Amino acid sequence: MMQTLLKFVAILAAVCIVMGGGVAALYGLWRGRIAEREAAARRAAVRNVTPQGTTVDVDHPLAGEAGTPTAVYAARDAAGETAAYVAAGAARGYASTVRVMVGARPTPQGLAIHKVVVTAQAETPGLGAQVAERRSTFTLWQKLFGAAGPERVFNPFLARFEGKTARQVPDVQAITAATITSNATKEAVQQALARIRKAMD
């Protein structure tokens, strides 16, 4: 009996070592491509939250190191003037860390949010995951049979942040039955705005 048990333990240990080695080898093989995809997704998120007609030099941030969550970028208009700032934020949600990218414009009342996108989350599907879901302005009927005007894709929760200042962020209405995730998103947005304010000083 003891000999059989030791045999099973040895087999299990061997399987674990082989599987662990295999995973490590695959990660080493794909690490460069994973990093490239993450960098491309980060660049796309930065451009997604800036006003139309502006450009962002993602290789030269105003503050922090390029390609890291602490980087703060300037979006410049055609005249080279700063039209908006971009920064990332993160906060713990119900089941995961909610990561956001925030674009904000300087106004006399302070920074006003231009746009917020969720770049990463693994919240409960159908509840907290709504912070990252995209909806169409078209109905199924319009999609099938055509509609006048262009289709717009948006997130109803994230749209509530647009035009808000840091003081107004806590008042953004939460998603029903997803208060923890909603509050995490607000906290991440506040963190991004704080990074922008620090870079502007």
Q: What is the pLDDT of residue 14?
A: 87
φ, ψ of residue 122 in degrees (nearest 5)? -140, 50
**Do the domain assignments include residue 174?**
yes
Structural domain contains residue 23: no
Whole-angstrom distance, CA of residue 95 vs CA of residue 128: 9
Higher pLDDT, 37 or 157: 157
Q: Which residue in 184, 42, 164 sits closest to 105, CA to CA?
A: 164
Contact criterion met (CB below 8 Å) for 146 and 139 = no
User: Residue 38 falls within a domain, yes or no?
Assistant: no
Q: Is residue 26 part of a domain?
A: no
Range of the domain at 70: 49-200
Q: What is the mean pLDDT of residues 37-55?
A: 89
Q: Three-state DSSP class for 108?
A: coil
Distance, CA of 179 to CA of 107 (rounded, Å): 30
Q: In total, how many domains does the chain have?
A: 1
Residue 106, exposed/middle/buried by CB under 10 A (0-12, 13-18, 19+)?
Answer: middle
Give the integer Cα–Cα distance in Å for 96 and 113.
Answer: 24
Residue 120 domain-assigned (yes or no): yes
Mean pLDDT of the chain: 90
pTM beyond cutoff 0.85? no
pLDDT in tens, 49-94: 999 999 999 999 999 998 888 999 999 999 999 999 999 999 999 9
Q: Which of 66-75, 100-109, 139-148 has the least mean pLDDT?
A: 139-148
Neighbours of 147 (CB within 10 A): 13
Mean pLDDT of the 35-43 span: 83
SS (H, E, C) 29-81: HHHHHHHHHHHHHHHHHHHHCCCCCCEECCCCCCECCCCCCCCEEEEECCCCC
- Per-residue confidence (pLDDT) for residue 5, from 0 to 100: 80
Give pLDDT, residue 149.
Answer: 77
- Residues 170-181 have a mean pLDDT of 95
Residue 164: inside a domain: yes
Q: How far is residue 107's CA from residue 182's CA, in Å, rounded to a whole number?
A: 26
On the question of pLDDT at 165 being above 90, the answer is yes
Residue recorded with tokens 């082989």: 18
Is position 115 within any domain? yes
Tokens of 154: 């948006």
10 lies in some domain: no
Cβ pair 83, 105 in contact under 8 A: yes
